[in-house]
């Protein structure tokens, strides 16, 4: 084997070793990120369960407070339902409205399609 052939083989071997090192690094990072993602997912699920439990206990405390104020259970439920309904309405109207500056949905797409159709017509005329 000539010296030039050995250099080509050694360069190819070095390149192969670098690529294998990169593949190993990707594999290590992928396993690490998968463990981190699973850990985060578990934490989010546990936090959501605890938040729902806290909300339920808060509702019980609110009903108990309204009962102590002398309201009946039905009236307390109606008061809480009314408050939550009003809050839902306000949030829905506030978040659900479309900003007047953005125009109608897909306005830019429709404009671009019209311009493209005009351009195509000019080409084929």
Q: Does pTM surpass 0.75?
A: no
- The 10s digit of each residue's pLDDT in 81-124 is 999 999 999 999 988 887 778 778 888 888 888 988 888 888 87
Distance of CA 109 to the CA centre of its chain: 25
Phi then psi for residue 97, to 5 deg, are -80, 150
- The 10s digit of each residue's pLDDT in 10-63 is 777 887 888 898 899 999 999 999 999 999 999 999 999 999 999 999 999 999
Cβ contacts of 80 within 8 Å, gap of 6 or more: 59, 62, 63, 66
């Amino acid at each position: 084997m000539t010296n030039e052939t050995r250099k080509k083989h050694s360069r190819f071997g070095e390149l192969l070793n670098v690529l294998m090192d990169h593949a190993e690094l990707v594999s290590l990072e992928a396993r690490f990120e998968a463990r981190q993602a699973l850990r985060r997912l578990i934490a989010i699920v546990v936090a959501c369960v605890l938040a729902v439990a806290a909300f339920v206990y808060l509702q019980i405390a609110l009903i108990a407070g309204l009962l102590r104020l002398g309201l009946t259970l039905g009236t307390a439920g109606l008061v809480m339902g009314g408050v939550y309904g009003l809050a839902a309405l306000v949030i829905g109207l506030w978040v659900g409205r479309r900003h007047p500056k953005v125009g109608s949905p897909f306005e830019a797409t429709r404009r671009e399609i019209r311009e493209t159709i005009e351009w195509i017509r000019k080409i084929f005329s």
